[in-house]
């Protein structure tokens, strides 16, 4: 074999690294075949690198060692992707046409020791098996016997599909004399997973070693719309009526104006109910107590609250098989309100993709900070699985807890393999797509699930829509 010169080698290595950095791998658009080709290219460069490292020129050897380290990192990322994608392809049959989803992973922590006098502890957090969806766990370290947490706090740790099964989260501590300890636990059930062992002791022992391994996880994606822009409106330009049509959203669900199966107590009003108002900030999608409840069905069920809905199920410009949707909104904060940004298929529920839900009927829900996503699978009106993530917070992703006081951008991209959610351009959740081939449309609504005697008047019952966009790749 004729080995390259050092300048040729640098070019090869740079091309390989740039292929990794600039490739759509991070956006989950790289095919398995191309990934394997890239992995083969790395092997070729690695062979040339071996020749370089055998050089008698010390400067070349030092440069080659740095390059070798970088190349190993690239190869490791590709190996993770190839393994993950092969496993995903092998599991596709387990989706059973969108009626099943692989079993959730389990997150556990175990007792461990740290050196005497440690001022920081690195908590290993373990998944029992690879997950086809993101997992967000919350670990708390607090005071124990003699040991002190500085401060007592809870931190999020995120496993994305393809990440290592063990990751570390670090906390500052003090008072760790021999035999002293601090305590740790999983403060909640992990999002997208089950909770395994939780309460542990972290004990100071002579000779103990506690170091965090290098994190080889992939970086969080940033939102890049997929496809061509097919629908774009603002709060001032969005068109809607009670029937829907081309470039016209409808104020009703595909099946009507009530959701009794959800325990909702709001009636999705027609335009004449006044649930939509254009403002300087955008379109207010409003809820309130009605002066006279609306009676529906036989025997009649009374709905004492107005809910409001904008749906694209009759709006072809909003419908897509693969692509992206982006909402810019400010959320309500009225107790009993249930704002949501979601996707449904034109063939009927289920499936369902929940990009955001605000569970205002839950007393512990914090409108300013809390996030929730979910997948619902099934067929012909029967739900057979969900995979919820409903304990995440904006701060887990470095975002401000201002959902009800400032505008934020919620996005979702659907590809044949993945469903990925973003807030303010930052990836929050990623799911393997069990619904390949469905044609989706967006829904934007504020439901009501308040007690019939609730005054329903605290805070704001309005979601403000600044803009809605849809991109279609297919």
213 within a domain of the structure (yes/no): no
* Structural domain includes residue 408: yes
How much of the chain, in percent, has pLDDT values that exceed 90?
77
Same domain, yes or no: 245 and 393: yes
Q: How far apart are CA 287 and CA 402, in angstroms?
A: 21
Band of pLDDT at residue 55, cut at 50, 70 and 90: low
Tell me the β-bridge partners of 173.
Answer: 149
Residue 222 lies in a domain: no
- Residue 5 contacts by C-beta under 8 Å, 6 or more apart in sequence? none
More confident residue, 174 or 83: 174
Q: What is the pLDDT of residue 439?
A: 98
Instruction: Calculate the CA dihedral of residues 448, 307, 334, 463 and round it to 10 degrees.
Output: 130
Domain contains 391: yes
Residue 25 pLDDT greater than 70, yes or no: no
Does 29 or 133 have the greater pLDDT score?
133
Domain limits for position 332? 228-472
Instruction: Mention every residue, 6+ apart, whose C-beta is less than 8 A from residue 351.
Output: 98, 345, 375, 376, 377, 378, 434, 435, 438
Domain boundary among 34, 64, 95: 95
Do the beta carbons of residue 428 and residue 262 sit within 8 Å? no
Q: Please, which residues have CB within 8 angstroms of residue 214's CB and are 6 or more apart in sequence?
A: none
On the 0-12 / 13-18 / 19+ scale of CB atoms within 10 A, 100 is middle
Per-residue model confidence (pLDDT) at position 27: 40
- 169 shares a domain with 46: no
pLDDT greater at residue 14 or residue 315: 315
Q: How confident is the model at residue 92 (pLDDT cuts 50, 70, 90)?
A: low
Whether the CB-CB separation of 446 and 463 falls below 8 Å is answered with yes
Rounded to the nearest 10 degrees, the angle between the axes of helix 32-53 and helix 6-22 is 150
Closest listed residue to residue 436, CA positions, set 355, 353, 374: 353
SS (H, E, C) the chain: CCCCCHHHHHHHHHHHHHHHHHCHHHHCCCCHHHHHHHHHHHHHHHHHHHHHHCCCCHHHHHHHHHHHHHHHHHHHHHHHHHHHHHHHHHHHHHHCCCCCCCCCCEEECCCEEECCCCCEEEEEEEECCCCCECEEEEEEEEECCECEECCCEEEEEEECCCCCCEEEEEEEEECCCCCCEEEEEECCCCECCEECCCCEEEEECCCCCCCCCCCCCCCCCECCCCCEEEEEEECCCCCEECCCECCEEECCECCECCCHHHCCCEEECCHHHCCEEECCCCEEECCEEEEEEEEECCCCEEEEEEEEEEECCCCHHHCECCEEEEEEEECCCCCCEEEEEEEEECCCCCCEEEEEECCCCCCCCCCCCEEEEEEEEEECCEEEEECCEEEEEHHHHCCCCCCCCCCEEEEEEECCCEEEEEECCEEEEEEECCCCCCCEEEEEEEEECCCCCCCCCCCCCCEEEEEEEEEECC
Indicate which CATH number applies to the domain containing 160. Answer: 2.60.40.2030
Q: Based on the domain organization, do 265 and 405 belong to the same domain?
A: yes
Q: Which of 318, 317, 294 is nearest to 307 (CA)?
A: 294
What confidence tens digit (pLDDT) does each residue in 272-330 have?
Answer: 999 999 999 999 999 999 999 999 988 999 999 999 999 999 999 999 999 999 999 99
Q: Can the peptide bond before residue 391 be classed as cis, meaning omega within 30 degrees of 0?
A: no
Q: In terms of DSSP bridges, do strands 323-330 and 463-472 run parallel, antiparallel, or are they unpaired?
A: antiparallel
> Same structural domain for residues 84 and 114?
no
Q: What is the pLDDT of residues 399-434, one digit of tens each?
A: 999 999 999 999 999 999 999 999 999 999 999 999
Where among 48, 75, 95 does a domain terminate? Answer: 95
The share of the chain scoring above pLDDT 70, in percent, equals: 85
Q: Which of 44-58, 98-112, 225-239 has the lowest mean pLDDT?
A: 44-58
Decide if 219 is inside a domain.
no
Give pLDDT, residue 16: 46
Any idea what the CATH number is for the domain that residue 335 is in? 2.60.120.200
Same domain, 332 and 391: yes
At residue 54 the predicted structure's pLDDT band, cuts being 50, 70 and 90, is low
Choose one of 204, 238, 272: the last residue of a domain.
204
| Co-location of 284 and 233 in the same domain | yes
Q: What distance in Å separates the CA atoms of residue 161 and residue 432, rounded to the nearest whole number?
A: 8
Same domain, 197 and 306: no
Mean pLDDT of the region 260-268: 95
Could you give the CA distance from residue 243 to residue 330 in angstroms, rounded to a whole number? 26
Asked if the model's pLDDT at residue 9 lies above 90, the reply is no
- Residue 14 region by backbone torsions, left for phi larger than 0, else alpha for psi between -120 and 50, else beta: alpha
pLDDT on residue 49: 65
* Together in a domain, 149 and 194: yes
CA 70 to chain centre: 29
Among candidates 436, 364, 431, 365, which has minimal Cα distance to 193?
431
Number of domains composing the chain: 3
Q: Are residues 87 and 124 in the same domain?
A: no
- Pairwise CA distance, residues 204 & 279, whole Å: 60
* Helix 58-91, helix 6-22: angle, nearest 10: 30
State whether 259 and 364 are in the same domain: yes
**Which tokens hold the place of 259?**
């959701």
Four-residue CA torsion sign, 308, 427, 24, 94: negative
Extract the tokens encoding 216.
């080889």
Same-domain check for residues 443 and 366? yes
pLDDT-based confidence at 81, cuts 50/70/90?
A: low
Mean pLDDT of the chain: 89
On whether both 238 and 303 belong to a single domain, the answer is yes
């Amino acid at each position: 074999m004729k080995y390259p010169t050092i300048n040729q080698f640098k070019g090869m290595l740079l091309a390989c690294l740039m292929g990794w950095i600039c490739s759509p791998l991070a956006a989950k658009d790289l095919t398995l075949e191309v990934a394997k080709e890239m992995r083969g290219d790395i092997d070729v460069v690695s062979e040339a690198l071996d020749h370089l490292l055998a050089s008698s020129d010390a400067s070349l050897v030092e440069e080659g060692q740095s390059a070798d380290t970088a190349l190993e990192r690239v190869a490791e990322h590709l190996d993770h992707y190839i393994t993950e994608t092969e496993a995903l392809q092998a599991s596709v049959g387990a989706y059973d046409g969108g009626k099943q989803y692989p079993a959730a992973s389990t997150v556990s922590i175990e007792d461990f020791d740290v050196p005497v006098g440690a001022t920081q502890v690195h908590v290993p957090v373990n998944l029992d098996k690879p997950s086809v969806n993101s997992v967000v766990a919350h670990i708390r370290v607090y005071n124990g016997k003699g040991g002190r947490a500085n401060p007592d706090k809870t931190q999020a740790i995120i496993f994305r599909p393809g990440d290592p099964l063990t990751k570390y989260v670090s906390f500052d501590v003090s008072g760790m004399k021999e035999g002293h300890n601090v305590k740790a636990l999983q403060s909640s059930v992990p999002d997208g997973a089950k909770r395994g062992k939780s309460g542990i002791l972290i004990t100071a022992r002579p000779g103990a070693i506690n170091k965090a391994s290098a994190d080889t996880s992939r970086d969080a994606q940033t939102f890049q719309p997929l496809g061509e822009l097919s629908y774009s409106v603002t709060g001032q330009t969005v068109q809607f009526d009670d029937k829907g049509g081309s470039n016209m959203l409808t104020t009703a669900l595909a099946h009507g104006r009530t959701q009794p199966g959800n325990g909702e107590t709001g009636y999705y009003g027609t335009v004449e109910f006044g649930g939509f108002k254009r403002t300087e900030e955008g379109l207010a999608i409003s809820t309130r107590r009605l002066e006279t409840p609306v009676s529906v069905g036989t025997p009649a069920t009374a709905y004492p609250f107005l809910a409001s809905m904008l749906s694209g199920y009759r709006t072809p410009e909003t419908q897509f098989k693969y692509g992206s949707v982006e909402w810019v909104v400010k959320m309500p904060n009225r107790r009993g309100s249930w704002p949501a940004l979601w996707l449904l298929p034109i063939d009927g529920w289920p499936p369902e993709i929940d990009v955001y839900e605000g569970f205002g009927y839950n007393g512990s829900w914090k409108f300013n900070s809390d996030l929730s996503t979910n997948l619902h699978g099934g067929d012909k009106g029967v739900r057979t699985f969900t995979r919820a993530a409903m304990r995440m917070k904006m701060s887990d992703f470095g975002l401000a807890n201002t959902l009800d006081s400032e505008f934020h951008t919620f996005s979702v991209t659907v590809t044949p393999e993945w469903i990925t959610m973003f807030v303010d351009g930052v990836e929050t959740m990623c799911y393997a797509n069990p619904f390949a081939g469905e044609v989706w449309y967006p829904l934007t609504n504020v439901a009501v699930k308040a007690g019939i005697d609730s005054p329903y008047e605290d805070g704001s019952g309005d979601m403000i829509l600044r803009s809605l966009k849809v991109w279609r790749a297919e």
